[in-house]
Structure 1
Amino acid sequence: MSSQLRAILQKPELAEQLLPEAQTRGFVTAMAAAPHLLDPAEWLAFLWGGDEVSPFTAQEDLEAYANAIVALWNETREALLTNTWAWAEGCGLDDQEIVTEDTRDFAEGLLQGWQLARDDWETIMPEDTEDSALLGGVLLSISLLYDPENAMQALAEEGADALAQFGEIYKSVPMMLCGLSQRAHALVSNA
């Protein structure tokens, strides 16, 4: 994330109105992974709660924010398609909370963003296909990271070493997101 975008997100007058940094990153990652390119004009307002009026008082500030978001989108899309996407600093596992707050926020943002592209995903990866299973596995993993307490309980009920399994899920997310993005890109390109 650029220092410019980080500075905008940390401004006291905007901090309560814009998604926090990790959640923003998750949302933008969902937009970058989407099968079809979505114009940022269609989704930018979701980063401040979907209101028609942005929280920015000056047009220049809105433009700087939009440009920083588009730059993050470009960087993220490139990383997903070249298999170089990795967890951002601050994301990780946590001894006390299972995952860090940033990991949880990232997962929440990704799930929110996925909702916008859901129809596209379901069209190119119809139910009862291998592609649909891939998509389902990624979404399940992200959902588990968003709600780790219930995930740990469910894994323990299955007799698994819940903490070890959870660590494996966390470690596999970069590979899964890259693979899903690359598969979606291939399906759309070959259509």
Structure 2
Amino acid sequence: MSSPLSELLKNPQLAEQLLSEAQTRGFVTAMAAAPHLIDPAEWLAFLWGGDETSPFESHEELEAYANEIVNMWNQSREDLLTGQWQWPEGCALDDKELVTEATRELAEGMLQGWQLSRDDWDTIMPEGSEDNALLGGVLLCFSLLYDPENAMEALSQEGADGLAQFEEIFTSVPTMLCGLTIKAQALVQEQ
């Protein structure tokens, strides 16, 4: 993944304090998928552990980082609402590890981000509703991708061809995530 964010993360001091690029992309994608828009000012600090003080040495560095995050959010939101979101570069299945490190980290960031918007999701897609099953399915997919070894074991115990099922899960995530975001947006507009 080569981007302005990659350039910022080449600074070892910042790389130690910020989420990795893949984790950041997952977190930002979760924020972009949220039913209600959440101002980045409310969640930006979570990208460096929630500390009030940012790890940046200058205001210009912080501003460049924040601008990159907002641009990423805007692109993710547009891609999700138009059904165009795809796995970012570097996210893939892996013969040896089941998924690449980038896939695992993106899933981790996505799950972390989802926690911030969880109340919105629970309100718009309450437990027991058909829509909640869609939300649960998407979250389950990201959980499985975050911990693929246990996922494979669980699928095998259920008698499924674990690898084939896992490939199907990975392949279906973009469609499911876009569908969930579009459905959430429609539910918000109905309110």
- In structure 2, what residue type is equivalent to 1:132? N
Overall identity of the aligned pairs, in %: 72
- Tell me the distance in 2 between the aligned counterparts of 1:2 and 1:46: 22
* Aligned: 1:106 with 2:106: yes
- What RMSD in Å do the two structures reach over aligned CA positions? 0.9
Partner of 2:61: 61
Q: Which residue is 1:35 aligned to? A: 35
Structure 2 distance, partners of 1:72, 1:2, is 13
Q: Does the 8 Å contact 1:111/1:142 carry over to 2?
A: yes
Give the TM-score normalised by structure 1.
Answer: 0.98
Within 5 Å, give how 1:44-83 maps onto structure 2: 44-83=44-83
Query: 1:164 aligns to what?
Result: 164
For normalisation by structure 2, the TM-score amounts to 0.98
The offset of 1:5, in angstroms, is: 1.7
Structure-2 residue corresponding to 1:149: 149
Q: What whole-Å deviation, never above 9, does each CA across 1:21-41 have from its counterpart, x for those lacking one? A: 100000000000000000001
Offset of 1:10 from its aligned partner? 2.0
Q: Which runs of 4+ in 1 moved over 6 A?
A: none
Q: For 1:16, what is the secondary structure of its paired residue?
A: helix
- Where 1:128 maps in the other structure, the secondary structure is coil
- State the Cα deviation string for residues 55-95 of structure 1 (Å, max 9, x = none): 00100110110011000000000000000000011000001
Q: What is the match of residue 125 of structure 1?
A: 125
Read off the aligned partner of 1:114 and give its amino acid letter: W
Instruction: Say whether 1:180 aligns with 2:180.
Output: yes
Whether contact under 8 Å (1:5, 1:68) holds in the other structure is: yes
Give the gaps of 5 or more residues in structure 1. none
Displacement after TM superposition at 1:2 (Å): 7.0
Q: How many equivalent residue pairs? A: 191
Task: Find the residue that maps to 1:54 and give its secondary structure.
Answer: coil
Deviation, 1:4, is 1.7
